[in-house]
Amino acid sequence: MTLVDVSQISAALFVLGAVFILLFFSLLSLGILKMFQQRFRAGVYSFIGAVVSGVTFGIILANWSF
């Protein structure tokens, strides 16, 4: 196992990644919770929100100037 050099990652990219992880997984877990509560419409909206946030994150990363 080797060490990974993360000194080239900017603070803005780190914060963006942390916010995305929090947003994506909270929407995903909220969607699962709503499905178990038999509130299917709210669950589907949460899943759609997770997908939209993932696509948005991908677009932002594709346009990010490293």
- DSSP assignment, residue 62? H
Residue 23 neighbours by CB under 8 Å, 6+ apart: 53
| pLDDT value for 66 | 66
Q: Is the pLDDT of residue 65 over 80?
A: no
pLDDT tens digits along 16-55: 999 999 999 999 999 999 999 999 999 999 999 999 999 9
CA end-to-end span of the chain: 26
Token digits of residue 49: 């929100």
| pLDDT value for 21 | 95
Give the Å distances, CA to CA, from 11 to 18, 22, 44, 54, 62.
Answer: 11, 17, 33, 20, 17
